[in-house]
Amino acid sequence: MTETGLQRFSDRVVVVTGGANGIGRACCTRFASEGASIVVADVDAVGGNETVAMVEALGASATFVRLDASSRLDNDEVASAAIEKFGRLDHLVTAAGISHANYVSGDAENEMKWMADRLAYAEKPHLEVFDYDVEEFRKVIDVNLVGTFLAVQACGARMVDAGNGGSIVTIASIAAKHPDAGPIAYTASKSAVWMLTKKLGRMLASANIRVNSIGPGFIETNMTSMLDELPADRMEQLLTNIPMAKRGEAGDIAATAAFLCSADAKYFTGEILHPAGGYFTS
Ligand SMILES: NC(=O)c1ccc[n+]([C@@H]2O[C@H](COP(=O)([O-])OP(=O)(O)OC[C@H]3O[C@@H](n4cnc5c(N)ncnc54)[C@H](O)[C@@H]3O)[C@@H](O)[C@H]2O)c1
């Protein structure tokens, strides 16, 4: 049961990509607390199995399936696992994502080095454009954008087969709409995830599948942990763009995903919601 006492997903099955950490994990526990069984899909097997244990501690069922989001085969195996283990598939949340090609969730040292490299371009951002390795650009697009599409293809096909309809939530970002909210390839990938979501919302409506997106602001997870190391003036600058003057919690995004998948949102499709502390008020 959630704090609100809601039980909107009894007997429902939810696939969460990126379920081993942060926003994806919070989605797993939120849906589980509202009665769902969960397929946790991620490259991180240790974190994924920890999420399974957290779901089970809530009295719900979960299984972990290793997923490289950019692999069609892996996505197919994740969707199959939902049917084989739980007999159905009702909802998909695509939270697997990377901020840059070498991103490894939880590797703080790697993130510090990456941010130091970015700050070196602060005075002359144009140089970063010309230095950016195209293979690294492709990797970000592959995981964030192609990965989202492959997950929808694999899971959406199972929803159509079962004939029960379903609902899908993609995780974009405020970077889908504002170029300052992320690095180059990341902003491009998230903007494309947002347009893909609108397109899929239109195309899957006739199959009774709703597709919506969440564009979170700055949320406290492994992906933003290096922001704590920003120079004070840069952190202040970042917070001036957020009227609520703080980062959000992974649970804020999970609550939004649960709303979008629930019957409360039955007239929503092709939309994006921004739990972002007011980022888009200016
Ligand atoms: N934290 C934020 O401020 C924020 C803001 C906007 C959007 N987002 C998005 O939310 C999503 C979740 O990010 P998070 O903040 O929880 O970070 P996180 O690092 O905690 O979670 C990302 C998850 O994706 C997994 N992952 C990475 N590459 C993968 C791959 N190739 N295949 C399968 N899984 C893979 C990681 O192992 C990790 O579990 C991402 O798409 C991110 O872009 C985050």
In ligand 1, the atom with minimum distance to the C-alpha of 97 is 41
Cα(100) to centroid(ligand 1), Å? 11
In ligand 1, the atom with minimum distance to the C-alpha of 23 is 16
pLDDT by residue (tens digit) across 54-75?
999 999 999 999 999 999 999 9
Beta bridge partners of 66: 42
Identify the CATH class of 13-275. Answer: alpha beta
Domain boundaries, the chain: 13-275
Would you give the distance in Å from CA 175 to the centre of its chain?
Answer: 13
Would you give the distance in Å from CA 86 to the centre of its chain?
Answer: 23
> Catalytic: which of 103, 121, 132, 186?
186
pLDDT, residue 229, reads 83
Cα(25) to centroid(ligand 1), Å? 10
Q: Return mean pLDDT, the chain.
A: 96
Catalytic site includes residue 186:
yes
Whether residue 1 has pLDDT greater than 70: no
Whether residue 2 has pLDDT greater than 80: no
Cα(96) to centroid(ligand 1), Å? 5
Whether residue 157 has pLDDT greater than 80: yes
CB 239 within 8 A of CB 246: yes
Q: Which of 217, 209, 223, 187 is nearest to 277 (CA)?
A: 217
pTM across the whole model: 0.98
Cα(163) to centroid(ligand 1), Å? 30
pLDDT by residue (tens digit) across 60-115?
999 999 999 999 999 999 999 999 999 999 999 999 999 999 999 999 999 999 99
Q: At what angle do helices 22-33 and 250-261 cross, to 10 degrees?
A: 50
The residues near 46 (Cβ < 8 Å, ≥ 6 apart) are 20
Q: Which residues line ligand 1 (CB under 6 A)?
A: 17-18, 20-24, 42-44, 47, 67-70, 95-98, 105, 143, 171, 173, 216, 218-219, 221-224
Give the residue, 23 or 231, on which the prediction is more confident: 23
